[in-house]
Amino acid sequence: MHKVSLFRSIQLKFIVIFILLLLVTIQIIGAYFVRGLETELRENFEESIEATVGIMEVNLKQAFSKDRSDDNPDTPSLEDEVQDIVQVNNTRDVKIQVMNMQSRIIASNDTTGGSNIGKKTTKDFITNVLRNGNENKSNVYDEENNRIYRRAVPIYDDEHTQTGALYVEASLEGVYSQLNDINSVFLKGSALAITISAFLGILVARAITRPIQEMRGQAQKMAREDFSQKVNVYGKDEIGQLAESFNDLNAKLKHSRALTEEERRKLSLVLSNMSDGVIATDRNGYITLLNDAAGMLIHQETEEAEGKFLLDVLQLEDRSVDISELPDSGSMIIDFSDENTIFEIRAKFSTITDEDQDVSGFITVLSDVTEQQEIERERREFVSNVSHELRTPLTTMRSYIEALTEGAWEDKTIAPKFLQVTQNETDRMIRMVNDLLQLSRMDNRSESLHQEQVDFINFFHGVIDRFEMNVSEHITLERDLPEGSLDVWLDQDKMVQVLDNVISNAVKYSPEGGVIHFDAAVQNGQLLASVTDEGTGIPYDKVDKIFDRFYRADKARSRKLGGTGLGLAITREIVEAHQGSIWAKSKEGKGTTILFTLPLENQKRRGD
């Protein structure tokens, strides 16, 4: 891993690129320099040879032009004079030969035992010059594979007649040896330059990459959400400007993260304190987030619900519902009720889309609508009950009025009975409407109580006395009321209505010979009063419903006795308006007890 990171390092890349550029530059300069130097050395060498050849041409021309007749006995022979000329111009590593027109060597600077003087040359390079009279030169390799320079020129006398040829052969190894020495010096200098340049390249690369490495380290810290540090700015160049921009980015990211974190905390706080449940899912419908309210509504722990399929959690897997169709459904009521409790929630669905308008997830908002649904059902039942209660007397009245219209009014026996029934039904409807109006006023808190301090025991005795005067002799009223007084703050008219409703129901449902028992006591700092009959009783699952509007435990008997089903509902509203409570106890076949409480005067402030 270290080697891989080293070779991937921008610092190493800088150094390698720097050295490669230097090598390429040195190679180009070296190639151009060596080529030029080689050409220059060779040209200088050839010029020196040409100078020697030129001098020898002049001297040899004079030698071949001399008169060597018997009249000049002091004149040396041609061979001797030419040999002297050759020896005078003898140069190290240069081979000189002079040939006559018969290709015979007449002079040579090689005077060793192996000299070719007097022999005929067989070299085509020389014979072509003797034959054609043209100069010739070339660079060739000898038998020992050494590079040599050859030059052959014709020799003329004063009459411009070719009298022979001059052949010069010089070794070029000295030139190339000198060139190799120069190349060696150049290579050593290049190696030294590359070494120094590599060292300088390292320093330059470190100077360039140091801020980049710092920015890399800071970027890694920023990836770990650490925005506490800044990178150093070493200059005003592009890297310095990049460092400044990086610090600006760090500050902006820090600010953005702070804002995001603040918004996240706000959102988390809102989600945590929302009474509605919120569930977020991915595009496939698997839960990614839900708040505590949602967990409570769906009876799931938040940690356990995450990752589950939304339709399974909402118990919609048995319905023909597709996750992609949920947003189109808008909302739906989901029933979580069991045998003991009623529990219904409303689920509203919406989609989350990205910038390309592709669905990336779903949001589901859950609301507990159990109470609303109960109220809605009660409203529907109330409307149905009112309609039914009004239809029955109206139907009866219509039938009797039609009979009277058709002639029954002339019958003095039947007409009074029909009119009496019509009047009774009218009174019944008036009572029902009055009860409904009273309930409406109490619901709207528009009916005020006129409370005063009253001794409830005397008040209770007075109401019982009134019933005792009118009750059937087959029903007995028993009182178990304490001595002394129990003062309460109450509206006497409203409380008379409460006791009338409770006692009237006890009388209605008491059998002949039955006993109605009245009781009052102090319990937990409150007055507790009760009325008990020996009627048929109420089933256990219906005891709490007798205070609902229009509810009748025995519908046929209640309607026969003229009840509207609103008496106990009004009773409850009045008792609760007095800051008391009312409930019932009953067993089938063993009678019913209605109990209610009222605050005692010493527990109740006059202004309450």
Q: pLDDT tens across 464-479, in order?
A: 988 888 887 788 999 9
Whether residue 404 is predicted with pLDDT greater than 70 in this model: the reply is yes
Q: Where in the chain is the domain with CATH 1.10.287.130?
A: 374-443
In this structure, are residues 152 and 129 in contact, taking their beta carbons and an 8 Å threshold? Answer: yes
Q: Which two tokens stand for residue 604?
A: 């109740």
pTM for the full predicted model: 0.43
Measured CA to CA, the distance from residue 465 to residue 459 in angstroms comes to: 10
**Residue 16, by phi and psi: left (phi above 0), alpha (psi -120 to 50) or beta?**
alpha
Alpha-carbon span 53 to 152, nearest angstrom: 9
Does residue 258 contact residue 246 with C-beta atoms inside 8 Å?
A: no
For the chain, residues classed under CATH 3.30.450.20 are: 11-178, 274-368
Q: CATH classification of 374-443, choosing from 3.40.640.10, 3.40.630.30, 2.40.160.10, 1.10.287.130? A: 1.10.287.130
- With 90 as the cut, is the pLDDT of residue 583 above it? yes
DSSP 139: E
Tokens of 176: 């190339």
- CA-to-CA dists, residue 530 to 416, 458, 521, 586, 606, angstroms: 42, 15, 9, 12, 25
Q: What is the pLDDT of residue 522?
A: 92
Residues 276-290 pLDDT 10s: 888 888 888 888 888
Cα–Cα distance between 421 and 400 in angstroms, integer? 8
Q: Is the pLDDT assigned to residue 337 strictly greater than 70?
A: yes
Q: What are 160-192's pLDDT values in tens digits?
A: 888 888 888 888 888 888 888 888 888 888 888
Contacts with 372 (C-beta within 8 Å, 6 or more apart), sequence order: none
| N- to C-terminal Cα separation, the chain | 83
Helix extents (H) in 89-172 = 124-132
Residue type, 376: E
User: Which CATH number among 3.10.450.50, 3.40.50.300, 3.30.70.100, 3.30.450.20 corresponds to the domain 11-178?
Assistant: 3.30.450.20
| Yes or no: domain 274-368 corresponds to CATH 3.30.450.20 | yes
CA pair distance 432, 510, nearest whole angstrom? 24
| Number of other CB atoms surrounding residue 508 within 10 Å | 16
The CATH superfamily of 452-603 is Histidine kinase-like ATPase, C-terminal domain (3.30.565.10)
Count the neighbouring beta carbons within 10 Å of the beta carbon of residue 244: 14
Report the percentage of the chain scoring pLDDT > 90.
9
d(CA 101, CA 129): 10
Closest CA to 66 of 44, 52, 84: 84
Give the pLDDT confidence of 8-47 residue by residue, as tens digits.
567 777 778 878 888 888 888 888 888 888 888 888 888 8
Range(s) for CATH 3.30.565.10 in the chain? 452-603
Task: For residues 595 and 582, give the distance between their C-alpha atoms in angstroms, rounded to a whole number.
Answer: 6
Do residues 101 and 164 lie in contact, with contact meaning Cβ atoms separated by under 8 Å? Answer: yes
CB 599 within 8 A of CB 489: yes
- Determine the Cα–Cα distance for residues 419 and 401; give it in Å rounded to an integer: 8
Q: What is the DSSP string of 507-560?
A: HHHPPTT-EEEEEEEEETTEEEEEEE--SS---GGGGGGGGSTT--SSHHHHHH
Say what the pLDDT of residue 69 is.
Answer: 66
Looking at per-residue pLDDT, the higher value among 92 and 64 belongs to 64
Q: Can you tell me which residue has the tokens 């060139």?
A: 179
Helix (H) or strand (E) holding 384: helix 370-405
Compute the distance between CA of residue 130 and CA of residue 127 in angstroms, rounded to an integer.
5
- Mean pLDDT (the chain) is 80
Enumerate the β-bridge partners of residue 362.
281, 351
**Computed from CA positions of residues 257, 260, 265, 268, in that sequence, does the dihedral angle turn out positive or negative?**
negative
